Chains A and B, each alone.
Chain A
Amino acid sequence: MVVSPRLEMLGVGKRFGATVALADVSLVVQPGEVHALVGENGAGKSTLMKVLSGAVRPDAGRMRLDGQAFTPASPLAARAAGVAMIYQEFNLAPHLSVEENITLGAEQRSAGFVRRAAHRRRMAAIFSLLDRPDLRLDVPVRCLSAADRQLVEIARALLADAHVLVMDEPTSSLGLADIERLFAVIERLRAEGVTIVYISHFLEEVQRVAQRYTVLRDGRNAGTGAMADVALNDLVELMIGRRLHEMFPRVPHEVGVPILEIRGLAGRRQPCAADLTLHRGEILGLAGLVGAGRTELLRCIYGLDAVRAGTVRIGAYTAGPGARGVHLAQGVGLLSEDRQAEGLLLSRSVADNVTLSRLGPLARWGWINLRAVQRATTEWMRRLDIRARSADQRLRDLSGGNQQKTALARLLHHGVDVLLLDEPTRGIDVASKAQIYQLIGELAAGGKAVLMASSYLPELLGVCDRIAVMHRGRLGRARPREEWTEHALISAAASGKETAA
């Protein structure tokens, strides 16, 4: 007898505009298995799971759940069919109690009143399955630890009779003991016949918890099989694939005198005691997992986040704890990792965005010379190849690549010497990426210093002179690029232990 798989996704394809997010991707998961879905950032894991959850409609392919055709029109429909997502950021109402959160939207009513007794019995059963029969149902969720909140999410899914649970980076906000407990819970769920799709960057975890794996790379299947048959190294190789073509034009540049020195820099939570020296004409890369503290480090250096201890020295200027305001005046500029929410004024024009931080030279007595603004912007648009109808076009209507180049143009218009670039090529097209790499090289050749954080390892290895890895808030030593391999970077990022290549 052939048992039909619990979940089959076959030949799934999805494009967003010109970008191919998924191409002919398949994922087959058997009942009662933990299936690891791995891949680098941007490999298409989230998109695939959005297709599964009904949040994104695929352009091609089909899905089957227990042999039945499955075409969820919305996350609600997917949930009703038994597919539930446990996201990194929990979807809980912090002020409601555990019980209210679990039953939210699924209240059994009789004559308009919530039937509590029936619910309570089921919930008690679920929490004993989750090994937490002692969890109080009447406390507000905001009083719970991250681990318990996650259990509440899982309980909510189970109460809705989920057969397929998708866990997206479930351990990223947990401590070691909680991770062990979570693994025990996953094992129990599996024994109960629940199927789990487990997404994680931490390959060691994946190896422990999953029976089978599927690797995605650049929106395609890179491999699938039984976890027992594969070594960690093989998984890494499948993830990276590699075809490092001329994506990274190297502009010759000379490393000069130190321009930015940070000593023992600590932020509110992250980073802790970071030391780093950045030189003129140098491109220094920061690798690390999401949440490792790279963004926080850059923001502390820029003066946007509070500094708890340590110093930032920029030329002759030194900032420490209690320093106020950003260091634009000292010639440091930050490119935000989130250009939509922070980096740009999406509802304003290219000209407004490029000139915003340095309107002074374009104005007299506070009155702006609109023609000068226009001229300056047009010049930057030409030099950075920003494709817009005019300097007056609204940022919202530009592509991601052109938006990002606009954000870079602002730093250049400001004339900063130190560029802190946080994920400079996230979510932009390949052509713009290459242009940005070229630009970064030219800036270094012009004597500027670049400190860039990226989750895309090929670009770090392709562009940077030195690379340092951050792991849970700690900054490792910056080593020359030649001493790193992608493998070494991934393992340093995941474990915090550095092994020379």
Chain B
Amino acid sequence: MNTGAALAPLSRLPGGRASPGRRVLLTALAPFLGLLVVIALFYAIPPHPWVSLLDLQTVAVHTVIVGIAAMGMTFIIISGGIDLSVGSAIALTSVAVALALKQGWGVPAAVVVALGTGALCGFYNSVLITLLRLPPFIATLGTLGFYRGLAKWISGSMPVSAPAQGLGLWVRPAPVQEWLPLAPAVWLMLALGVFLAAVLRYTILGRYTFAIGSNEATARLCGIRVPRMKVYIYVLAGLLTGLAGLMQFARLTQGDPTVAIGVELDVIAAVVIGGGSLSGGQGSMLGTLAGAFLMAFLRNRCTVLGWPNFVQEMIVGHIIIIAVAIDQWRARRVER
């Protein structure tokens, strides 16, 4: 069940012949339906490779980095913003974590470093957006370069190897414990997904996020301190980006300043595939997770089928195009 849709009853579909309840359900399930269609398509393609448990576990793990970052991006996109600096912030965080661990700090300290780095990145973005009144696209286009440069600077432009201290186990596709069918990081992502879906639906923060994205002028009229809310939203997204950066480190067990280039586009795509609208006011947390899983699944299948990398890129590119086309089409229908 998609919590995001229940949050926005009747708000995402124009009135029509189908009963409102059914239509809402349909939209809510759209990302999951898309997921099913894609999975079915892959079975239709010879040589029909079946998905093994390990495949699913691998896909789940590969979803983690984009998925966690995309949950933050969901807040930002619902509020009518965008963050292009996610990939760079992930790289910066992974380097920061590596440097911290190399200093001999423990895992708790590394987690704090990761969250802190991500939150600072989000805070800086929000300052540029609210204080300098830059469009989020421009502000984060700038910090996309800035955070990447920062990552290269503190790492000396070289990958920083560090003792993983068990962090690697978080993202091992087949977990060590028999009773845990999925990697700990995947569980963490799912738990966060449920929690953040509830935040979006049941808290004042969530309500204000939708309000700002639906109509910023109304939000201001209603006394919502829009700039302050934006700071909260970008810092929250930054915390999640930091967590994604920690996962990035765990996967490679090194901090690589050149990692995650272009990941921001996957993150944005996950949100959009999941029902988020780039014009704001729409989006759902679990839809976003479905979107992230869909893309990871696509990549995995292409690899299993032995298709070259460029085929993956071409397919994923068109998944994004189709998702946005559907989004635009929906927006037009609402306007009529």
- Residue positions of A touching B, CB distance < 8 A: 304, 325-326, 328-329, 334, 336, 341-349, 352, 356-357, 359-360, 363, 366-368, 370, 392-394, 396-397, 410
B214 at the interface (CB under 8 A from A): yes
* Least CB distance, A390 to chain B, in whole angstroms: 9
CA distance in complex: A342, B220 (Å): 9
In the complex, the answer to whether A392 meets B10 with C-beta atoms within 8 Å is yes
Interfacial residues of chain B within 282-319, with CB under 8 A of chain A in the complex: 282
Q: Do the beta carbons of A304 and B10 come within 8 Å of each other?
A: no
The 8 tightest CB contacts between A and B, nearest first, are: A357-B222, A328-B223, A342-B217, A345-B214, A392-B9, A394-B10, A356-B222, A366-B203
Given the known inter-chain contacts A352-B211, A356-B207, A394-B11, please indicate yes or no for A343 contacting B218, CB distance below 8 A. Answer: yes
Chain A residues with CB below 8 A from B219, complex form:
356
The answer to whether A356 touches B211, judged by C-beta atoms less than 8 angstroms apart, is yes
State which of A325, A342, A366 has its C-beta within 8 Å of the C-beta of B215.
Answer: A342
Is B204 in contact with chain A by the CB < 8 A criterion?
yes
Within 8 A of A (CB), among B219-247: 219-225
Q: Give the CA-CA distance A295 to B173 in the complex, in Å.
A: 62
Please indicate the chain A residues that have their CB under 8 angstroms from the CB of B224 in the complex: 356-357
Size category, B interface? 20 to 34
Check if A368 sits within 8 Å of B334, measured CB to CB.
no
Report if B202 contacts A (CB, 8 A).
Answer: yes
Q: Provided the pairs A348-B211, A367-B203 are in contact, do residues A397 and B15 lie with their beta carbons within 8 angstroms?
A: yes
- Residues from chain B with a CB closer than 8 A to the CB of A367 are 202-203
> Is A325 a contact of B223 with CB atoms below 8 Å?
yes
* Candidates A341, A349, A359; contact of B217 at CB < 8 Å: A341
Asked, given contacts A352-B210, A356-B211, A394-B10, whether A410 binds B222 with beta carbons under 8 Å apart, the answer is: yes
- Out of A325, A328, A343, A347, name the residue touching B214 (CB < 8 Å): A347
Contact B220 A393 (CB under 8 A): no
Determine if B122 is an interface residue (Cβ-Cβ < 8 Å). no
Contacts of A349 in B (CB 8 A): 9-11
Residues in A with CB closer than 8 Å to B15 are 397
18 sampled A-B residue pairs with Cβ under 8 A: A325-B223, A325-B225, A328-B222, A328-B223, A342-B217, A343-B221, A344-B218, A345-B211, A345-B218, A345-B281, A347-B11, A347-B281, A347-B282, A349-B10, A352-B211, A393-B10, A397-B15, A410-B222
The answer to whether the Cβ of B150 comes within 8 Å of any Cβ in the partner chain is no
Contact with A along B1-14 (1 / 0, CB 8 A): 00000001111100
Distance from A326 Cβ to chain B, minimum over Cβ atoms (Å)? 5
Residues of B41-60 at the interface with A, using a CB-CB cut-off of 8 Å, are none
Cα distance A367–B12 in the bound complex, in angstroms: 23
- Complex CA gap A352/B212 in Å reads 12
Nearest-Cβ distance from residue B195 to partner chain A, whole angstroms:
12
Cβ contacts under 8 Å, A328 to chain B: 222-223
In the complex the two chains form, is B334's CB within 8 Å of A347's CB? Answer: yes
B169 in the interface (beta carbon within 8 A): no
A363→B222 contact, CB < 8 A: no
**Would A352 and B10 be within 8 Å (CB), given that A304-B221, A326-B221, A329-B223 are in contact?**
no
**Residue from B205, B215, B219, B225 having most chain A Cβ neighbours under 10 A:** B215
Known: A342-B221, A368-B202. 5 other contacts (CB 8 A): A347-B12, A348-B8, A349-B9, A356-B224, A367-B203
For B8, what are the chain A residues with a Cβ–Cβ distance below 8 Å? 348
Task: Verify B205–A336 contact, CB threshold 8 A.
Answer: no
Complex alpha-carbon distance, A346 and B10, angstroms: 11
Q: Please name all residues of chain A whose beta carbon is closer than 8 Å to the beta carbon of B10 when the two chains form the complex.
A: 349, 392-394, 397
- Complex alpha-carbon distance, A329 and B281, angstroms: 26
> Are the CB atoms of A363 and B11 closer together than 8 Å?
no
CA distance A334 to B221 in the complex (A): 7
Q: Which residues of chain B have C-beta atoms less than 8 A from A325's C-beta?
A: 223, 225
- Tell me if B204 and A359 are in contact (CB < 8 A): yes
Chain A residues in 8 Å Cβ range of B221: 304, 326, 334, 336, 342-343
What is the bound-complex CA distance between A357 and B15, given in angstroms? 27
Interface string of B178-215 (1 = CB under 8 A from A): 00000000000000000000000011110100110011
Q: Using Cβ atoms and an 8 Å threshold, which residues of chain A touch B334?
A: 347, 396
A336→B215 CA distance, assembly (Å): 13
A363: which B residues are within 8 A, CB to CB? Answer: 203-204
Q: Which residues of A contact B222 (CB under 8 A)?
A: 328, 356-357, 410
What is the bound-complex CA distance between A394 and B11, given in angstroms? 6
- Expressed in whole angstroms, the Cα–Cα distance for A318 and B202 within the complex equals 36
B residues within 8 A CB of A304?
220-221
Residue of A nearest to B214 (CB): A345
CB-based nearest A residue for B206: A368
Q: Is B204 a contact partner of A368 (Cβ separation < 8 A)?
A: yes
Q: With A and B bound together, what is the CA distance between A472 and B87 in angstroms?
A: 53
Question: Within 8 Å CB of A359, what residues of B?
Answer: 204, 207
**Separation in Å of the A67 CB from the closest CB of chain B?**
38
Measured between C-beta atoms, what is the minimum distance from B177 to chain A in Å? 33
Among A336, A370, A392, residue most surrounded by chain B Cβ atoms (within 10 Å): A392
Nearest residue, chain B, Cβ from A392: B9
- Judging by beta carbons under 8 Å apart, are B204 and A348 in contact? no
Distance A360 CA – B148 CA, assembled complex (angstroms): 41
Could you say which of A334, A346, A347, A396 has the most chain B C-beta atoms within 10 Å of its C-beta? A347
Please determine whether A344 and B215 come into contact, CB atoms closer than 8 angstroms: yes
- By beta carbon, the residue of chain B nearest A359 is B204
Residues of A within 8 A of B220 (CB): 304, 326
A367 to B205, CA, bound (A): 9
Chain B nearest CB from A346 CB (Å) reads 7
The smallest C-beta distance from A262 to any residue of chain B, in angstroms, reads 20
Q: How far is the CA of A341 from the CA of B214 in the complex (A)?
A: 10
- B85 CB to nearest chain A CB (Å): 27
Contacting residues, chain A, for B11 (C-beta < 8 A): 347-349, 394
Q: From the candidates B202, B203, B205, B210, name the one contacting A348 in the complex (CB within 8 A).
A: B210
Query: Which of B9, B221, B224, B225 has the most A CB atoms < 10 Å from its CB?
Result: B221
Q: Which residues of B are found within 8 Å of A346, using beta-carbon distances? A: 214-215
How far apart sit A326 and B217, CA to CA, in the bound complex (Å)?
Answer: 12
Chain B residues in 8 Å Cβ range of A368? 202-204, 207
The answer to whether A348 and B223 touch across the interface, beta carbons within 8 angstroms, is no
**B211 and A370 within 8 A (CB):** no
Q: Which residues of B contact A329 (CB under 8 A)?
A: 223
Tell me, rounded to whole Å, the shortest Cβ–Cβ distance linking B19 to chain A.
11
**Smallest CB gap from B24: residue in A:** A392
Q: Return the chain B residue nearest A357 by Cβ.
A: B222
Q: Which residues of B contact A345 (CB under 8 A)?
A: 210-211, 214-215, 218, 281
| Given A349-B9, A392-B9, A392-B10, residue A366 in contact with residue B217 (CB < 8 A) | no
Contacting pair B202 A370 (CB below 8 A): yes
Residues in chain B near residue A341, CB distance under 8 A: 215, 217
What B residues does A326 contact at CB under 8 A? 220-221, 223
Q: Taking A325-B225, A347-B334, A349-B10 as contacts, is the C-beta distance between A366 and B205 under 8 angstroms?
A: yes
B7, chain A: closest CB distance, angstroms: 10
Most A CB within 10 A of own CB, among B210, B218, B281: B218
**Shortest distance between the CB of A169 and any CB in chain B (Å):** 25
C-alpha spacing A30/B11, complex, angstroms: 51
Q: Which residues of A contact B203 (CB under 8 A)?
A: 363, 366-368
- Given the contacts A344-B215, A345-B215, A394-B10, A366 and B204 also touching, CB distance less than 8 Å: yes
B4 CB, min distance to chain A CBs, angstroms: 14
Closest Cβ neighbor of B280 among chain A residues: A347
